Structure 1
């Protein structure tokens, strides 16, 4: 096993766990004295510790979660075994910073406000194992695409399946290890420390096998959308306690005046497999630059899918997001957007579907710090199963100097089963005094007056209800950049809703 900063701490926390369950602690005194450990119990699962161990120098940790430490150490061992050569500097910086963060990060529980309505026990109760370092090269791309694309299997780039045409001079898309420009490598390295997320962000930082870099130089406009397709192939069978973990990570840098469309599509290789896809996308959009981002999540209905999207927008820049999330037993999207310049525009449109015993969760945070910023957010979801639920926690913060801001937020939820659940929390925090801000929320089944409109025109109730359900989602789906992509998403939604629609 490779040397790891987690090993002594993991050994210590396991010993402490045994100490809590023992009727007498006297037998542990030699161990504690030899390792010079100071213990201040806070609870059975959270303790303050300070370790001085000859094998490793470990900083003080206020909390040490044995499960988190064990996952981190397993990922470190898998990465070190798979890599014969040292990683590029930006990737090494990311791993070091993430390792330090995990030393003091507990696993989230329902007692934590961000996870109040989101049960992560699907992951917590499983045996987490890193995916194989050698993805199957025999995978054939049966879907095909007419746009430039990069294929990742379980977080690893597969060049044989990717179709990357020539890009404009200076533009780049590919692995971090393929970068030849010292200037670009320096920019990526500086960008890696620009934001710190939560536990899942740090786990990705430790376990990311590589970085996918998308770079658009100043004044460059890439005509065709860039399509990133993520396949989750390795998975456990239903009933197993094993959950393979993948950690794809993408960095997007769009410099001043640049423009690009980015499509992210997540697909489960087998609709019944159990796995955990833990993905991160970091974006910086330069002055006057534009990024249109489409995010489609259609993972296995037995999988866990956790995604972080962090966006930094400079002055007069534009960011548009269209999100369709219909897969995963547990799906959570953490979306953080920071406007760091005036005259900045943000437009967010999301649609979530819980067609089975699923949790669809969107936690978004938008921070406006400068004048004349605009933001629009539309969140729509359908819960079509009695044990399905959707969660929306949307925070828009308009700070003191963000005068003349125009911010709107609207969430609408459609419940098709009596026991279906939606938990929503639209939230505006306004400190500036010269703003135009609004938010609204609605949760209901289809209304009688909507049905009456169709019935009055001779449409039977079953057809009317189908039309209303699909038109509810169409408002977001129609914003996807390509007709072929829209039809594909519509077909997937119809297949998932067929059991519900068939019983109407």
Structure 2
């Protein structure tokens, strides 16, 4: 078994030099991007070929060509222009880049990327096992496209909107929502690719003082896929913007599922959440996609004064799964809770990169990350950064990562990072990586429990600390049964995720 806990190391790499295929579509893609003359003059501007990665531009071109021609929203085009501009100077990440030092993305790069240009017919999915559960409020998104016939949104309070940006019929809501398009601080390459390739924007808008009873369930289904031995990799780019006004409250359950079977595909998803003053968002995130798939997720949070954000995450699917969580506290007395549990099996990589930035007084944050690597070929990565800036006095921030390694040669890489500039704070962080403790096993065996049962009980209880934080008992039971089945396939469960 292998693990590491270390401080950040910065690598500097020279700018790559590539030649660009001269296709008409790619030329169009380059022409539509904007270069600010105030920053780059004709004398100082390097050739486009010196800045661009041909593979990245090839994906961007194919994403652009796959978009529905009927969708001509100027607001959505603003997002695409903002994202496409950054792609001109963003190469595909490699292990030489610090954020991807332990995350190998060659599985995607070595595949033939095929954008999903249209959703599967709803009638072909009605009998799918992923739709066995019915929720009072739910929105179904298949391969990045909203499917109204498989959604249930009746009973929403007055003033609440859930749907696509193109279908908003309120000028007031549209005006408020587009203030956050694009969000001021962009993410990495995958954030930009999503911005270029998202067919539409899913909007969740909660007006001032409105509290939605019961969770809103966002079901993401990947139906387009190829055989796991095929090089073809269909890609979808779902994107969600949540805006909760002052005093509003909403619970959101994001559940990512694959269709029936072990298909190969790539889900490249983004969610941006804006939480107003004294508002609250409870965010549950479950990822159980195909073990032959790639799942890359961005969650970007902006919290205003006295707001609360709670994330509970369980991720067990994907050959490659990476979740980037960025939280920005832009007001005082702000509360942030992050609780995550990852389970990595054979030939799986589970990766969490998180960043919490506290800029104002009396901010509060707690982060708990737990992962289990249950196979010798499994890998887990945790890179958690908490930054307490100069004016964030009287901040209380804590971070803890605990990893359980069950097999020899399994790998865990952790990088907890706490940066403090303020001088009146209470902050802590810690990391632990180990196998099951012999004393705990002995305690259970001394009470007549056999070794196999004792190990199973301790492993399940390790993840239960996070699972128990889901707000719904039905959701807790569903996820717990799913995790038990993955850890021990012989366990019979009547209702798995």
What TM-score do you get using the length of structure 1 for normalisation? Answer: 0.87
What corresponds to 2:62 in structure 1? 74
Deviation at 1:103, TM superposition (A): 1.2
Q: How far is 1:137 from its partner?
A: 1.4
The C-alpha deviation readout for 1:135-172, integer Å capped at 9, x for no partner, is 22121163222330000100100000001122111111
CA–CA distance in structure 1, aligned partners of residues 447 and 166 of structure 2: 62
Correspondent of 1:337 among 327, 330, 333: 327
Q: Distance in 2 between matches of 1:270 and 1:102?
A: 34
- Residue matched to 1:460: 450
Q: Which residue does the alignment assign to 1:156?
A: 145
| Counterpart residue number, 2:113 | 128
The equivalent of 2:376 in structure 1 is 386
Of the three residues 132, 144, 167, the one matched with 2:133 is 144
C-alpha distance 395-413 of structure 1, shift in aligned 2 (>3 A): same
- Match of 2:51, SS state, is coil
User: Which residue, 192, 199, 209 being the options, matches 2:189?
Assistant: 199
Of the candidates 255, 277, 283, which is equivalent to residue 265 of structure 1?
Answer: 255
CA displacement at 1:46 relative to structure 2: 2.5
Superposition map of 1:476-495 within 5 A: 476-495=466-485
Q: Which moved more, 1:361-370 or 1:128-137?
A: 128-137
Partner of 1:175: 164
Partner of 1:302: 292
Give the length in aligned residue pairs. Answer: 455
Deviations 1:96-146 (A, max 9, x none): 111111111100000000000000001010010111413221211632223
- Structure 1: how far apart are the matches of 2:136 and 2:264? 30
Asked if 1 retains the 8 angstrom alpha-carbon contact of 2:252 and 2:284, the reply is: yes
Residue number in structure 2 paired with 1:4? none
> Distance in 1 between the 2:93 and 2:424 partners?
38
Residues 341-360 of structure 1 mapped to structure 2, 5 A cutoff: 341-360=331-350
Deviation at 1:48, TM superposition (A): 9.5
Q: Secondary structure at the match of 1:458?
A: coil
- Residues 432-458 of structure 1, C-alpha deviations (whole Å, 9 max, x = no match): 011000001100000111112112222
Note if 1:438 corresponds to 2:428.
Answer: yes
Aligned match of 1:410? 400
Q: Distance in 2 between matches of 1:89 and 1:498?
A: 51
Cα pair 2:119 2:142 within 8 Å, conserved: no
- Structure 1 CA distance for aligned equivalents of residues 97 and 219 of structure 2: 33
SS in 1 for 2:83: helix
Alpha-carbon offset, residue 193 of structure 1? 2.4
Are the aligned partners of 2:382 and 2:416 in contact in 1 as well (CA < 8 Å)? yes
CA contact (8 A) 1:363 1:393 kept: yes
The corresponding residue for 1:27 is: none
1:56-97 residue CA offsets vs partner (Å, 9 max, x unmatched): 746554521111000000010111xx22252x2221111111
Rounded to whole Å, the distance in 1 between the matches of 2:472 and 2:330 is 31
Preserved contact between residue 135 and residue 156 of structure 1 (Cα < 8 Å): no
SS in 1 for 2:122: coil
Residue of structure 1 aligned with 2:94, choices 109, 133, 142: 109
| 1:190 corresponds to | 179
Which residue is 1:64 aligned to?
A: 52
Contact 1:90/1:185, CA 8 A, preserved across alignment: no
Contact 1:48 1:63 in 2 (8 A): no
Which consecutive unaligned segments of at least 5 residues does structure 2 have? 1-13, 36-44, 493-497
Match of residue 9 from structure 2: none
Computed over aligned residues only, the root mean square deviation of the Cα atoms, in angstroms, reads 1.9
Contact kept in structure 1, 2:19 and 2:54, CA below 8 Å: no
Q: Give the CA deviation at 1:47.
A: 4.8
Deviation at 1:271, TM superposition (A): 3.9
The answer to whether 1:469 aligns with 2:459 is: yes
C-alpha change, 1:295 and 1:99, in structure 2 (3 Å) is same
Distance of 2:141 and 2:207 partners within structure 1 = 24
Instruction: Report what 2:268 is aligned to.
Output: 278
- Residues in 2 aligned to 1:325 and 1:147: alpha-carbon distance in whole angstroms: 24
Q: Equivalent residue for 1:496? A: 486
- 1:83 aligned residue: 69
Task: Output one character per residue of 1:469-499: Cα deviation in whole Å (capped at 9) or x when no partner.
Answer: 0000111111112122112111221221125
For 2:186 and 2:259, the matched residues in 1 are separated by 31
Tell me the alpha carbon deviations over residues 168-187 of structure 1, each in whole angstroms, 9 at most, x when there is no partner: 11111111111011121122
Determine which structure has greater relative contact order: mean sequence separation of CA pairs < 8 Å that are 6+ residues apart, divided by chain length: 2
Q: Which moved further from structure 2: 483-492 or 259-268?
A: 483-492
Residue 3 of structure 2 corresponds to none
Shift of 1:212: 0.6
Whose Rg is larger? Answer: 1
Q: Conserved in 2, the CA contact under 8 Å of 1:343 and 1:372?
A: yes
Alignment gaps of 5+ in structure 1: 1-41
**Would you say the 8 A contact 2:282–2:311 is kept in 1?**
yes
| Further displaced range: 335-344 or 163-172 | 163-172
